Structure 1
């Protein structure tokens, strides 16, 4: 997915974020690498392009993006945060063997359980854990 600098700037401005070189590069990376990266992944991949980049800049950018609806923060097993640029309702499957996180579609009409009818639900997370199809194939070939 190729986005122009103008499109990236407009996207950030529409989310009340002042565009900067780092923010534009991070957004471009997220849109082109929908792999649910960690801050460290983003840092390592952008460092060759921005030699003065710091991890603090990445963490600050990701916090700003999360607070303004550009990314959703994913936490699996209470471990390192992953970032998802797809903020629409969808689920995730995390492979316990290889660690890859897969997206899957969910119906948009998920009913709120009766026990929560009087609650103000702001967000829904649907996470599954197990062994992915690739790891299952590898395991079958090892036997």
Structure 2
């Protein structure tokens, strides 16, 4: 996403498009790596020496508040961020720690029990082993991954 597009997107969501905010948003939309604050800070500080973790936390909190980024908390000790705010799930690999997007077939999920509620958030996550780690350990037991 180029700077102009990112700037316009932020403006549409009532966010002042500072250089730091634009770069953080570009990072999230381009990398799609579900980063932690520490990872983002490490990756961006060389490019933006004036970036502080406080600025990064404030920027991410603003993005979450405005609904343009989702906060992912699969592990209670680690917060990650995702610029894809569509309804989808996540899987965190127990071996390498990576977080992957998991598509959902909404037509096969029964939401009938929710019709009396006002849903404000949804989080669907799984923990397991990713394909790369399965290859390294020598195979995949398909029976374990089926529901």
Q: TM-score, normalised on structure 2?
A: 0.88
* Aligned-pair CA distance for 1:113: 4.6
| Counterpart residue number, 2:143 | none
| Counterpart residue number, 1:60 | 58
Cα deviation code 1:14-41 (max 9, x no counterpart): 1110100100110111111100001111
1:125 paired to 2:123: yes
Q: How does 1:105-116 map to 2 (within 5 A)?
A: 105-109=103-107, 110-114=109-113, 116=114
| Counterpart residue number, 2:68 | 70
C-alpha RMSD of the superposition: 1.4
Higher mean C-alpha displacement, 60-69 vs 118-127: 118-127
Q: TM-score, normalised on structure 1?
A: 0.90
The structure 2 residue matched to 1:81, chosen from 79, 87, 90, is: 79
SS of equivalent residue, structure 1 residue 76 = strand
Count of equivalent residues = 138
The gaps in structure 1 that reach 5 residues or longer are none
The structure 2 residue matched to 1:32, chosen from 27, 30, 33, is: 30
